[in-house]
Chains A and B, each alone.
Chain A
């Protein structure tokens, strides 16, 4: 199936369109909120919340007996919130660090959830099958109303984000200072956390409990590499998230119905990888290039200062010397010599070299930072 045909199918086929839109919106909202989670160094919070949601799903099913997605998600929301605020109070009231508290709540709730799921499976009523789709997600079960729901939540999220942008930013950067300015930091904090919980719960059906935190973190981690502005970071993260959803859905639909959730997560991971390698200011590739360039400059400087030390001993600095005497020196090559000639620091004459006036001056001030700053 080629791309144009696929795109036509996305617009004509109801199921494919629903899934594509759903995963795109989900990716956008988790990317947006994930930026805040990453900047608050609460990357694991998403993982804890999504795992904490599992017992809620099971309990909601046990109480109501329905498989209605919205009821189950309500259960997930409640238990996700309980887990989150439990973590907060553990960190506040005990000596435990937040990573310990997160890990503890994560495994406790997940264990309880798995216990309840196996209990449900042993129940005589045959209605139970399908709850385990919340473990790894099943995008194929998305329907139009789910997508509307996601869109509404994303919209509300966006409005709140724009309204409280200034408050969010300052809280993320310097919470103590925010408090002294008279802002209710607890309120802002709870607002951010609640939205993160809601976004995660929304994604459970599609991506599942286990992989959900990747949707939160990967787009944000990738986006951070491309910009030094919080605003652009949020925009780029939403874009990465949405694109992961669309591309992931396309791959899973065209390749014999591969499981959508994991494919989306892997695509998001690839975005992170690309960002870490190719970002111009923070990427590994350009860092390496800068490193090599600096090393070359250094070797050039070494050659120049070696020449300077020789020329210094003569009255006439332009006095020519044999190239051969440079041979013992590390870092000297034909190439570097040519470079020095190009910079007009050195004159070459056959097998002899001599420093120019400019080269002599540069060499004598090579390691003198003060004069460089003055220039």
Chain B
């Protein structure tokens, strides 16, 4: 309990107030209030269409919410962009784009470079270090379409690591990767937490939640619950989020 108490005293990294998002007047997220404490490794869980990706995208300003506000360490997101990194879903880009693995990772430095300025030696060094961290250094000059799904996911992770942010948002980083890559990724996430970074992950595999994460948010259009995994990851909340039949899907 003492570590939880300590966390409670921590600063709030991300605060979401009254966030409502709608596609064509149909609400996808309804009146979300959420506080994410600094230094947690948090999973967002919920069924398909619950608005998990939408939540991340509206926090990051990719989607425009019809109501609500987001603040990062107490200030509006616009002013705190440098503190935030994003790992999109792997399927969101065209991997046949003519570029190399190193080039994609370098894109993580573009934000701090700003307009027009080109990446130089310093940026290249940072990108190579990130590639090494995710174990992809031997593939740095590979055309990105010639990487496996797991390798592509690692490239995206490396691109976010280069941003050297305080808060990381990741949209299903474990989707379609093999067991080795999953362990490699979770180790990096745990390392980030050790460095007191905040990591928010859209996650699908309920079984691994207690093992991988220390904080969890249940989401199904509305926020069901949020808090430490060991306090709130229980039958009651799972049923509220997934409906009465969730156990069947877990056992399979």
Residues of A whose CB lies within 8 Å of any CB of B are 39, 41, 95, 163-167, 169-170, 172-174, 176-183, 224, 227-230, 232-233
Cα A172 to Cα B94 in complex, Å, equals 9
With both chains docked as a complex, state the minimum distance between the C-beta of A346 and any C-beta of chain B, in angstroms.
Answer: 35
| Residues 193-227 (chain B) with a chain A CB within 8 angstroms | none
With both chains docked as a complex, state the minimum distance between the C-beta of B239 and any C-beta of chain A, in angstroms.
Answer: 33
Given A177-B88, A182-B81, the answer on whether A229 and B98 have CB atoms closer than 8 Å is: yes
Residues of B whose CB lies within 8 Å of any CB of A are 24, 57, 60-62, 81, 84, 86, 88, 92-94, 97-100, 104, 107, 110-111, 113, 115-119, 143, 159
For A176, the closest partner residue in chain B by CB is: B62
Question: Which of chain A's residues have a CB closer than 8 A to the CB of B116?
Answer: 163-164, 166-167
Question: Which of chain B's residues have a CB closer than 8 A to the CB of A224?
Answer: 98
The 8 closest A-B pairs by CB, nearest first: A181-B111, A228-B143, A182-B81, A180-B86, A180-B60, A176-B62, A174-B93, A230-B98
Interface contact B104-A173, CB-CB below 8 Å: yes
Question: Which of chain A's residues have a CB closer than 8 A to the CB of B143?
Answer: 228
Cα A164 to Cα B116 in complex, Å, equals 6
Interface contact A166-B110, CB-CB below 8 Å: yes
Given A176-B57, A180-B81, the answer on whether A228 and B98 have CB atoms closer than 8 Å is: yes
Question: Which of chain B's residues have a CB closer than 8 A to the CB of A39?
Answer: 94, 97-98
Given A173-B93, A174-B88, the answer on whether A179 and B61 have CB atoms closer than 8 Å is: yes
With both chains docked as a complex, state the minimum distance between the C-beta of A193 and any C-beta of chain B, in angstroms.
Answer: 19
With both chains docked as a complex, state the minimum distance between the C-beta of A12 and any C-beta of chain B, in angstroms.
Answer: 41
For B84, the closest partner residue in chain A by CB is: A180
Name the residue in A95, A164, A181, A233 with the highest tally of chain B Cβ atoms < 10 Å from its Cβ. Answer: A181
For A187, the closest partner residue in chain B by CB is: B115
Question: Which of chain A's residues have a CB closer than 8 A to the CB of B113?
Answer: 166
Interface contact B62-A179, CB-CB below 8 Å: yes
Cα A164 to Cα B98 in complex, Å, equals 18
For B116, the closest partner residue in chain A by CB is: A163
What are 5 A-to-B residue pairs whose CB atoms are below 8 Å? Answer: A166-B116, A181-B110, A224-B98, A229-B98, A233-B98
Interface contact B88-A167, CB-CB below 8 Å: no
Question: Which of chain A's residues have a CB closer than 8 A to the CB of B88?
Answer: 174, 176-177
Cα A96 to Cα B107 in complex, Å, equals 32
